[in-house]
Amino acid sequence: MANLLNIKINGKAYQVESGTTILDACKQNGIRIPTLCYLKDINAIGACRVCVCEVKGVRTLVAACVYPIEREGTEIVTNSEKVIKSRKTTLELMLSNHNNECNSCVRSTSCELQSLAHEYHCDEHRFGGIKNTFEEDVTPYLVRDNSKCILCRRCVAVCKSLQHVHVIGPNHRGFKTSIGCAYENSLNDVACVACGQCITVCPTGALREKDDIDKVISAINDPTKHVVVGTAPSVRVAIGEEFGYPIGTNVEGKMVTALKMLGFNKVFDVDFTADLTIMEEGTEFLGRLTNGGVLPMITSCSPGWINYIEQYYPEYLAHLSSCKSPQQMFGAVVKSYYAEKNGIDPKDIVVVSCMPCTAKKMELNKPYQENKDGIKDVDIVLTTRELARLIKRAGVLFNCLKDDTYDSLLGEGSTAGLIFGATGGVMEAALRTLKEITEGKELEKIDFEAVRGTDGVKRATVNVNGIDVKVAVAHGIENAHTIMEEIKNGKADYHFIEVMCCPGGCVCGGGQPIQPADVRNSIDLKAARAKAIYDTDKKAKLRKSHENVEVQELYKSYLGEPNGHKSHELLHTKYTNRKK
């Protein structure tokens, strides 16, 4: 039985479990304490000092996020004049060394420092002095601007604890402290996986995606170019947050309408090539399973994960499926089949993809993601956040739009590919198709719930035509590391493994809408966004990749058969040992 303590907060009596932090005790009882460095289960270091409170009998103010309540009768004050003055002074000291060019900052109005500065009526000029100056670290996927960094170390904690990459940390000491790579290297020169998780937890504009909106506008306005756009499964259940919709709202119809209003020649659903991926990857897996191929086979849909294995476990590249990601398959199909069908020179087609992922920006620039003529599959990648900014810049009133439907490459829309957006979705889509095709009969139960959910690693055994297929699903690189160490140490007897780079899968990708710490600490974003995907899947008429009539027609009229010569030429790729 829990050990309950009687305490007082701001003069009122409450009961809390022994060991509860002041921050959690206050939250449980409807009292908000501001924070800047704290992230639940990720970063509790008491560094920013914005959450300070008074505790009777304690000489100094204490950090609420790390101070445990362990004494009967503890009296806490969260809103005294002393506390408010301390918080305000701390914020003003941050502002004194902060690049306060808020009007031109991508995080203006969604910056946690800005919000607290307004709340506490701060004077950004109260403390003078020389500000630290930094050069931006620019990569194809991310920009670091340390002139806006407040040293909260959230990005450091995420890179270390969730993603197991450890490529950033504090450099120097005192006033000269900055966050960066060892020896002041650029992120371009270290083993960063481009996941963008650091961006999603940054409270300010110190980290942002590389913006490619102007490239898209230029392409749309070029009369010599045929510009098509495709959206990933998880974008539709997240972009609504940028327009005030509740977390986990599916706004597919409005998003499609907005894209058509922007002037794209065609608006396609990348769910189509997610289904195509299942046909190729599933066939590849069956071939390995029955012909003594390299097992376990590991999915290749997540470019952040591919970056990780190429740099950290290159000796296991043979375990990867050779399939391109759905994004790259989308571009390959558009610049081959679609181009031929419509009599358009592939060189005149601009393929734009809207993705939940910053690593997708890096993926399209890899030299092996080109066709034999040196033409890239995909030309420009926009994150969900960039797409929202583009819609707003164009003056499109998103919330007022009527729903529209995607254009179609061939006929009917996609099916099981939608669930790719959530961790376990690729595996579930594959199992639906593998089991039904090999057994030659309709599935009695279509939902494979054993591979769903937000557990870090999920394991299951599924009988496929008399063979017990052992599968595993991992999301977040920390969990992928666990799986890879099992393989390395000979402890893995899996046949098929799904890995997604980002925690929760694509629904919480590094390019998705940023939610402040108050929200992240209260709501499981992974579960809320994934629920929207599974709710939509449950209502769909067709829920199996092999039943997608577009995919069937593509094989019949163009590709021939899954894993055939034409498919390998267009839809498969190779990997590179990039160990650093």
For 289, residues 6+ apart whose C-beta sits below 8 A from its C-beta are 295, 467, 469, 495
User: CA–CA separation, 132 vs 146, rounded Å?
Assistant: 9
pLDDT at 417: 81
Q: What is the mean pLDDT of residues 236-250?
A: 98
For the cut 90, the answer to whether the pLDDT of residue 366 exceeds it is: no
Question: How far lies 207's CA from each of 81, 133, 137, 138, 265, in Å?
Answer: 34, 16, 10, 10, 33
CATH number at residue 30: 3.10.20.740
Residues 22 and 169 occupy one common structural domain? no
User: CA–CA separation, 37 vs 144, rounded Å?
Assistant: 18
Q: Which amino acid is at 388?
A: A
For the cut 60, the answer to whether the pLDDT of residue 412 exceeds it is: no
For the cut 90, the answer to whether the pLDDT of residue 374 exceeds it is: no
Is residue 552 included in any domain, yes or no?
yes
Domain with 453 in it: 214-571
What secondary structure does DSSP assign to 276-312, as a single string?
A: HHHHHHHHHHHHHHHHT--SSEE----HHHHHHHHHH
User: pLDDT, tens digit, for every residue of 319-342?
Assistant: 999 999 999 999 999 999 999 999
Tell me which of 160, 188, 209 is where a domain ends.
209
Q: What is the DSSP letter of 161?
A: I
User: CA–CA separation, 497 vs 296, rounded Å?
Assistant: 7
Is residue 57 included in any domain, yes or no?
yes
Q: Which amino acid is at 303?
A: P
CATH number at residue 193: 3.30.70.20
User: pLDDT, tens digit, for every residue of 463-485?
Assistant: 999 999 999 999 999 999 999 99
For the cut 80, the answer to whether the pLDDT of residue 370 exceeds it is: no
For the cut 70, the answer to whether the pLDDT of residue 114 exceeds it is: yes
User: CA–CA separation, 255 vs 528, rounded Å?
Assistant: 19
pLDDT at 132: 84
User: pLDDT, tens digit, for every residue of 525-545?
Assistant: 999 999 999 999 999 888 999
pLDDT at 131: 85
Number of domains in the chain: 3
List b or e across 380-418, with b for residues whose CB sees 16 or more CB atoms inside 10 angstroms: bbbbbbbbbbbbeeeebebeebeebebbebbebbbbbbb
Q: 172 falls in which pLDDT band (50, 70, 90)?
A: very high
Is residue 577 included in any domain, yes or no?
no
**How, if at all, do strands 137-138 and 75-77 pair?**
unpaired
Is residue 147 included in any domain, yes or no?
yes
Tell me which of 55, 79, 103 is where a domain ends.
79
For the cut 70, the answer to whether the pLDDT of residue 573 exceeds it is: yes
Rg over alpha carbons for the chain, rounded to the nearest Å, is 25
Closest CA to 262 of 210, 224, 233, 219: 219
Residues 192 and 222 occupy one common structural domain? no
For 375, residues 6+ apart whose C-beta sits below 8 A from its C-beta are 335, 346, 347
Residues 220 and 352 occupy one common structural domain? yes
Q: Which amino acid is at 535?
A: D
Residues 177 and 274 occupy one common structural domain? no
CA atoms within 13 A on the CB side of 544: 18
User: CA–CA separation, 420 vs 406, rounded Å?
Assistant: 18
pLDDT at 408: 87
Is residue 542 included in any domain, yes or no?
yes
Residues 403 and 463 occupy one common structural domain? yes
Residues 35 and 113 occupy one common structural domain? no
CATH number at residue 475: 3.40.50.1780
Q: 112 falls in which pLDDT band (50, 70, 90)?
A: very high
Residues 52 and 105 occupy one common structural domain? no
Q: What is the mean pLDDT of residues 46-55?
A: 97
Is residue 485 included in any domain, yes or no?
yes
For the cut 90, the answer to whether the pLDDT of residue 243 exceeds it is: yes
Q: 133 falls in which pLDDT band (50, 70, 90)?
A: confident
Tell me which of 209, 224, 242 is where a domain ends.
209
Residues 421 and 509 occupy one common structural domain? yes
User: CA–CA separation, 395 vs 20, rounded Å?
Assistant: 48
**How, if at all, do strands 62-63 and 142-144 pair?**
unpaired
User: pLDDT, tens digit, for every residue of 449-465?
Assistant: 999 999 999 999 999 99
Residues 100 and 223 occupy one common structural domain? no
Alpha carbon distance, N-terminus to C-terminus of the chain? 51
User: CA–CA separation, 155 vs 179, rounded Å?
Assistant: 9
Residues 12 and 132 occupy one common structural domain? no
Residues 33 and 115 occupy one common structural domain? no
For the cut 90, the answer to whether the pLDDT of residue 255 exceeds it is: yes
Q: 580 falls in which pLDDT band (50, 70, 90)?
A: confident
Has this prediction a pTM greater than 0.85? yes
**How, if at all, do strands 457-464 and 467-475 pair?**
antiparallel
Question: How far lies 44's CA from each of 36, 64, 158, 198, 264, in Å?
Answer: 10, 10, 12, 16, 45
User: CA–CA separation, 268 vs 497, rounded Å?
Assistant: 29
Contact 362, 303 (CB under 8 A): yes
User: pLDDT, tens digit, for every residue of 184-208?
Assistant: 999 999 999 999 999 999 999 999 9
Is residue 84 included in any domain, yes or no?
no
Average pLDDT across the chain, whole number? 95
Question: How far lies 209's CA from each of 148, 433, 534, 567, in Å?
Answer: 15, 36, 28, 33
Six token digits for residue 118: 């307004």
Contact 171, 184 (CB under 8 A): yes
For 239, residues 6+ apart whose C-beta sits below 8 A from its C-beta are 251, 255, 384, 387, 388, 513
Q: 439 falls in which pLDDT band (50, 70, 90)?
A: very high
Q: 130 falls in which pLDDT band (50, 70, 90)?
A: confident
Q: What is the DSSP letter of 403?
A: P
Is residue 447 included in any domain, yes or no?
yes
Residues 421 and 535 occupy one common structural domain? yes
Q: Give CA torsion, residues 97, 102, 104, 105, to 10 deg.
A: 80
User: CA–CA separation, 91 vs 86, rounded Å?
Assistant: 9
pLDDT at 411: 44
- Of the chain, the percentage scoring pLDDT greater than 90 comes to 92
- Of the chain, the percentage scoring pLDDT greater than 70 comes to 98
